[in-house]
Copies of this chain bind each other. A is one copy, B any other.
C-alpha cells in the first residue's frame, strides 16, 4: 500500500494538521518540525495522490492556447485538435481557452501574453513568433510561476518549460537526404518553397536542408528561396515561374504550409521531365498528391500529439510533477505513399 498523509504523521510523530501545513506550504510550522516532516516524507517515499488532491480541491486546470490567425490546413488541423481536447476537458479537469493573434506579429503576441499575467491560468501554450520582446513576455510568465510550453515553433533563449514540436533542423536535413538519395546520380537544381523567413521553424528547416545539401549532395544546387507566405495563390505563381524559367530543376522542397498552390503548379506543368518533391505537413491536398505520385515524401508533425503533449506537460508542471520525456518527444513523421495512416 502506498503511504498516505497519515503515515507521514505517524512517522514524523506530528499531527495530520502539521503534515498538511508542511505539504501545502502553510505558515505556522517551526523549522525543526518542518524538517522532521520533510525527512519522514522522503524516508517513507510519500507521493501525493494527485487524483485525490484534485478531488478535494475541486481543481481544474485553466489552460490558454495562443495561436496565430493563419488560414492554412495545418493551423486548421491544430484548431481541430484543440477542440477535441476541449471535448475531453471534463474528464481531464482542464478548461481550455484559445486566443487568436495576428500571425508573424510579435507585438500582438506580447499583448496577449501580458493579459494572461492577471488571469493566472494553470498553463499557457503558444505558437511562438521569434522576437526578443516575445522572449521577455514569456520569461515574465515563467517568473510569475505560470507554466509555459511552446507549440510547433520554439522560442530559443526563453525560459519556457517545454517545446511541443519537432526538431526543424533535423527535419530540413532529413528532407535533404531524402531528396538527394531519391535523385540518385542526377545533377541539377533544387527549388525551395518556404512560407516566410521570419518564422523560426521555416528558417531552421532551410538551414538544415541547405547544410546537408552542401555537405553531401554537391551536385545539386539550391535556387534562391521562394517565399510563398503560406498562400496557395502566391505559391502557385512562384513555383510555376521557377519551373518555366529554370530548365534544370529536378527537385523541390516545400518546407512551409499552403501546399495547395504547389500541387496545382506541379500538375499544370508542361514538361514531362521527372521531378522529385518533398513537402511538409500531411493535409488532404498533400496526401492526395502523395498518393498520385506528384509528391514523393511528406514530412509531418502530428498536431494531435502536439496538443495532447502540451496539455500533459502543462498539467504536470502545474503540479510540479515529472514528465515522461520519451513520451513527450514529438517525432518527425516521414510518409511515403505506403505508410499513410
Contact = CB atoms under 8 A, between A and B. Distances in A.
A273 to B, nearest CB: 15
B327 A332 contact: no
A185 to B, nearest CB: 7
Interface in A75-131: 88, 90-91
Interface in A41-63: 47, 49-52, 54-55
Contact of A90 (B47, B208, B327): B47
B326 A331 contact: no
Interface residues of A, number: 44
A174 B338 contact: yes
Given A2-B90, A336-B174, A305 B329 contact: no
A337 interface: yes
A210 interface: no
Interface string A309-341: 000000000000000101101011110111101
Contact of A51 (B55, B212, B305, B326): B55
B55 A339 contact: no
A170 B171 CA distance: 22
Interface string A142-185: 00000000000000000000000001001101101110011111
Contacts of A302: 326
A304 interface: yes
Interface in A282-312: 296, 302, 304-305, 308
A1 to B, nearest CB: 9
Nearest to A89: B2
Contacts of A182: 181-182
Nearest to A173: B338
A143 B281 CA distance: 42
Instruction: With a 10 A CB-CB cut-off, give which of A184, A331, A333 has the most chain B CB atoms.
Output: A331
Contacts of A2: 90
Contacts of A332: 339
Contacts of A177: 336-338
10 contacts: A49-B55, A51-B51, A52-B55, A173-B339, A177-B337, A181-B181, A212-B338, A304-B326, A308-B327, A331-B333
What are the 4 A-B residue pairs with the smallest beta carbon separation, nearest first?
A: A184-B184, A173-B338, A51-B51, A334-B334
